[in-house]
Chain A
Amino acid sequence: MSAAKKRKAVSKKQPGTCQAPSALVRMEIDGTPVTVPMGTTILDAAASIGIPIPTLCSHPDLCRSGNCRICCVRVEGQDALQSACVYPIAEPIRVTTGGRDIRMARQHIVELLLAAHRGTCTTCRRSDNCELRALAASWGPDHLLFEKPEDCPEREDASMPGIVRDMDRCILCRRCVRTCSDLQAVGAFEPVGKGDDITVGTFAARPLKDSLCIACGQCVVRCPTAALSVADGTDRVFAALDDPRRRVVVSVSPFVSAAIAEEFGCPPGTWMESRLVTALRRCGFDAVYDAHLAGNVLTVAQMMALLKELWIRFNSLEDTRRPILSSACSAWVRWVEHFAPDVLDWLFPLRGPDDLMGALLRAHGEPDATIVAAVPCTACHLEIQRNSGTGAVRGPDAMLTTVELARMIRRSGIGLSSLLEGAFDRPSFAPTDVMPRYPAHGPGSAVASLFIETVTGSRADIRFEEVGGDPGLSVARLTVDATAEVPDWLYPYIPQFNCLRGDILFGRVSGTAAARRMLSDIRAGGVFSRCAFIEVSACPDGCAGGGGQPVPTSPDIRRRRLEAVHAAVTATGSGMHRLHGAALAVPDPQRLIGASFEARGRFLV
């Protein structure tokens, strides 16, 4: 390995943009005075008084890198234009955001990007929400001044199921590089080469599937163009639907219902579940199921495991203290397999909800159907791969992400606004029509909610609080004072609840970079080491921000999606254990719900 290869591909932190603001600075933008905390960027200062500055390489979730230069503005007294997104205001400067130089510069930048970009907008999946195209409409030239490259090398990489990389469309903004290293602590991408040969590449130019990529798709939802996109699986599903002899059913994740409306022009946070059910029936699905049922089964299973563990700890002399980590997110599992294989056995080995839903349907009443899962996630494909050939009941036959599902609905010629509301079909393992809804990765962690409801006999308001100002890390402290009777179905796991009196901590982690911080916290004996159970999802803000969700994404968009999911949560979880019991009433329940993981490590050959 050459020295250059060994260099870390770490994106640059911008100290100026992340500094804790203290003093205030009074400055002026386009003649309007504004007072901002020291260290605020010109971009943010301008936004605060409603002055729009175009951006491209910056993203609300990422450290600013200042490499596209589209946000250039003039700071009085400086010869060169400055990039507003990375310029921290430290003194009373005067800024102008318009004028000939700036207009020409932005036009040139767009033009240069277009000249190097080999995309054809008319056949591009992202043309409706491509940031380059939007910039070209406002700032670009009427005619291209420079010639497009003549050669068109085939540079598509579809090796990773669910994700397509097409470097012909890459504009080298490096958002994916920053996403993968800063948010996901994976670092699958790095800039390779320099000058006009530069590309964003993987280690040793390997196909993505042979890199350390965990398929979280976070780079996909942050790519401004179609250089990274969700692989299209709609054709396969259409083919199944078109075959009259086949029964085709679909299960829908609540996180799809929380986000799909955005694909049809609705604001983020629009909950679209019952009309989606109707739309899917119109598309030709023979039955439409609610995947949160499998989520409920998992919640009960995780709580039972937790109670069992707590009882063992209560009785054992040695201190076996270590948290149980959730395993519902397959990207997170893959991350542990690669980057922290030593803690694999802290994971309680269960399948993820969408995969489990497919298996449950197959085991109960739909043995011959083609089962499709509508998911917010690009990583579910990994889980299907993982389970195949292990003797486990097969999960879904096909996965469709939110964006693919929306495409399917559009291609079926269905207008959502005119649809009547529909209700989910009841799978044969569900004891009643109405089932409690306890979504995982939601604002109240499902396991914590069910735990407190079961142990104390009443539902408590669970408040997760950020740890150390890190939006990816939070902990809820629950107090068990009065305890309920142990229900019969739990008796084999824990004979009395009295031993649980006192405080118990639940952790919630989102984003694998945050998860890495969580693991170091545990090793350092921090607050996470005292948690009983930690729910981890690989994507920032969990499945609401999954890699198959609509583009764009931002903390605000994801918060609204989560609120939409939260609003649909039911008041009580009673009845969940009956669902769990019915779902797993098969000869070998482990084949349905169990999972096994593999220590992969960081070095792939």
Chain B
Amino acid sequence: MKSSLTGKLTFALVEPDTGLAHAVTMSPPGIVDELRRSGLRGRGGGGFEVAEKWRLCAAAEGPGRFIVCNAAEGEPGSFKDRAILQGFAQLVFEGMTIAAAAVGASRGILYLRREYGYMAAHMESVLAARRHAGLLGQCIPGRGDFDFDISIHLGDGAYVCGQETALLEYLEGRRGEPRNRPPWPTTRGLRGAPTVVHNVETFAWVSCVLARGAAWFKNLGTAGSPGLKLFSVSGDCQRPGVYEFQLGFSISELLETVGAERVKGVQIGGASGRMIPPSQFHRTIAMEDLPYGGAIIVFGEERDMLDVAGNYLRFFVRESCGQCVPCREGTRRLLDGVERLRQGRCPAVHLDRLCELGNTIRLTSKCGLGQSAPQAFLSIVSHYRRELMGRERHERG
């Protein structure tokens, strides 16, 4: 793990609990203001402004409030949350505590992906130490009226359970399926109570922002996407791993850092992201240009883009919760299309219709899974159309 700035991750440099110590001296709206000044956006994929989420949650009426940390990390090619939890669980719990102080929550839940269950014991011990130190539990120092505790809930293996409302459904004991929104979790989340859900990394950055001040964070990155962010880089490169970057870096810079040459495309945002061809490697990773997920996958020249599209689609066909029509039925029709392309049986008009269908899936699916499922396919069709269409016709089989 390294940072493109300092060689060392910021998380390793920040002294744990200085942010919390700072936060408990501030009023709840003061904490929200500090985050607003930092410009921190969610690191879970949606990129929603953290301060705004907290403001909405604090303003909503409800029986109690919850802070939920999303450690579902189901995105293929993403492993940064695991690294954060292993190395910097303190910062994550600290960030949750700061959020609780800001919105007035008294319970936090860390939803841990089942495959990460082996870390639960370690994290429980971190929690126990925090309770012992008076950083969790009743009457957290500095703020006599502030009670907050965190429990760990082992999740489901399904990818869709990372979608925040599906995660909440699962926590309530039902099938992990996304809810209709609005209402958003900030108004009606877990058991009907206003709930803040953030990615693991987001909470860690909250601690850093409170420790080092909003101005420090705001000055990094770009105007629209301030600050730093971790990325899991994998695929055809010499140095795969978790990297910290200032937002606004270009794909070429990235490829140089990770040691990738003869690259055919870079998938930004894991399976739900999109494929960027070499002609666009000057583009930058930032909300205002290429929205970021946590995973970046490099595809070398020898990769077959049709296979890549097919693999991603197969993932969605399998991982769709099966609730809504466009996602459940549409993704498998796109996959059928990939099969036809492979057999050289897909005329150009049919491919165009598939792209229209992809557009419908994007526009009408109930949750982000379906809305982003066709992206990889659509971007590959638009940038590698020649390659896809150039198959020799052969019979089915």
List residues of A whose CB falls within 8 A of some B CB. 4, 7-10, 12, 14-16, 64-70, 72, 79-81, 83, 86-88, 90, 101, 104-105, 108-109, 112-113, 115-116, 145-147, 172, 191, 193-198
Contacts and interface: CB of A to CB of B under 8 A. Distances in A.
A196 B360 contact: no
A10 B177 CA distance: 11
12 contacts: A4-B156, A12-B174, A80-B362, A86-B180, A105-B326, A112-B330, A115-B329, A172-B328, A196-B320, A196-B332, A197-B322, A198-B321
B192 interface: yes
A70 B360 CA distance: 11
A505 B335 CA distance: 63
B325 A113 contact: yes
Contacts of B179: 12
Contacts of B180: 12, 14, 16, 64-66, 83, 86-87
A340 to B, nearest CB: 23
Given A72-B363, A108-B360, A195-B322, A115 B333 contact: yes
A109 B364 contact: yes
B366 interface: yes
Nearest to B335: A196
B329 A69 contact: no
Contacts, number: 126
Interface of B: 156, 158, 160, 169, 173-175, 177, 179-180, 182-183, 188, 192, 317-326, 328-333, 336, 350, 353, 356-357, 359-360, 362-366, 371
A194 B330 contact: no
Nearest to B323: A67
Given A72-B364, A86-B180, A87-B182, A198 B192 contact: no
B306 to A, nearest CB: 19
A105 B364 contact: yes
A68 B371 contact: no
Contacts of A16: 180, 182-183
Most A Cβ at <10 Å: residue of B169, B192, B329, B330: B329
B134 to A, nearest CB: 35
A14 B317 CA distance: 26
Contact of B320 (A90, A108, A195): A195
B328 A195 contact: yes
B75 to A, nearest CB: 17
Given A105-B363, A105-B364, A7 B325 contact: no
A108 B362 CA distance: 12
A590 B306 CA distance: 75
Given A7-B175, A112-B333, 19 more contacts: A8-B173, A14-B180, A15-B183, A15-B188, A16-B183, A65-B323, A66-B366, A67-B324, A79-B363, A80-B362, A87-B180, A104-B359, A105-B360, A109-B360, A112-B329, A146-B336, A172-B322, A172-B328, A195-B317
Contacts of A64: 180
Contacts of A8: 173-174
B329 A116 contact: yes
A113 B332 CA distance: 12
Contacts of B169: 12
A88 B183 contact: yes
B364 A69 contact: yes
Contacts of B325: 67-70, 109, 112-113, 172
Most B Cβ at <10 Å: residue of A90, A104, A193: A104
Contacts of A69: 324-326, 364-366
Contacts of A10: 174
Most B Cβ at <10 Å: residue of A66, A87, A112, A113: A112
Contacts of B328: 172, 195-196, 198
Nearest to A79: B363
Nearest to B353: A145
A195 B177 CA distance: 11
A461 to B, nearest CB: 42
A66 B331 CA distance: 18
Contacts of A194: 158, 160, 318-322
A139 to B, nearest CB: 12
A79 B368 CA distance: 12
Contacts of B183: 15-16, 88
B173 A80 contact: no
Nearest to A66: B180
B206 to A, nearest CB: 27
B6 to A, nearest CB: 37
B112 to A, nearest CB: 15
A101 B363 contact: yes
Most A Cβ at <10 Å: residue of B324, B325, B333: B325
Contacts of B317: 195-196
A203 to B, nearest CB: 14
Nearest to A199: B322
A191 B326 contact: no
Contacts of B336: 146-147
A9 B177 CA distance: 11
Most A Cβ at <10 Å: residue of B174, B319, B360, B362: B360
Most B Cβ at <10 Å: residue of A8, A68, A79, A105: A105
A113 to B, nearest CB: 6
Nearest to A69: B364
A195 B319 contact: yes
A33 B134 CA distance: 56
Contacts of A112: 325-326, 329-330, 333
B89 to A, nearest CB: 25
Contacts of B324: 66-69
A594 B125 CA distance: 66
A12 B360 CA distance: 25
Contacts of A90: 182
Nearest 6 Cβ contacts at the A-B interface: A198-B322, A112-B329, A86-B180, A108-B360, A66-B180, A105-B360
A605 B275 CA distance: 53
Nearest to B321: A194
A146 B317 CA distance: 16
A563 to B, nearest CB: 35
A7 B364 contact: no
B360 A104 contact: yes
Given A12-B169, A194-B320, A113 B360 contact: no
A87 B183 CA distance: 9
A69 B331 CA distance: 15
Given A7-B173, A87-B182, A195-B317, A80 B364 contact: yes
A16 B192 CA distance: 11
Contacts of B350: 145
Contacts of A14: 180
A147 B333 CA distance: 9
Contacts of A79: 363
Nearest to B154: A3
Contact of A7 (B174, B330, B332, B360): B174
B363 A80 contact: yes
Contacts of B333: 112, 115, 146
A361 B324 CA distance: 52
B318 A196 contact: yes
Contacts of B371: 80
B366 A108 contact: no
Contact of A15 (B192, B321, B330): B192
B366 A83 contact: yes
A1 to B, nearest CB: 14
A81 B319 contact: no
Nearest to A11: B174
Contacts of A88: 182-183
B158 to A, nearest CB: 7
A109 B356 CA distance: 12
Most A Cβ at <10 Å: residue of B319, B323, B357: B323
Nearest to A88: B182
A191 B323 CA distance: 9
A115 B319 CA distance: 20
A115 B371 CA distance: 21
Contacts of A146: 333, 336
Contacts of A172: 322, 325, 328
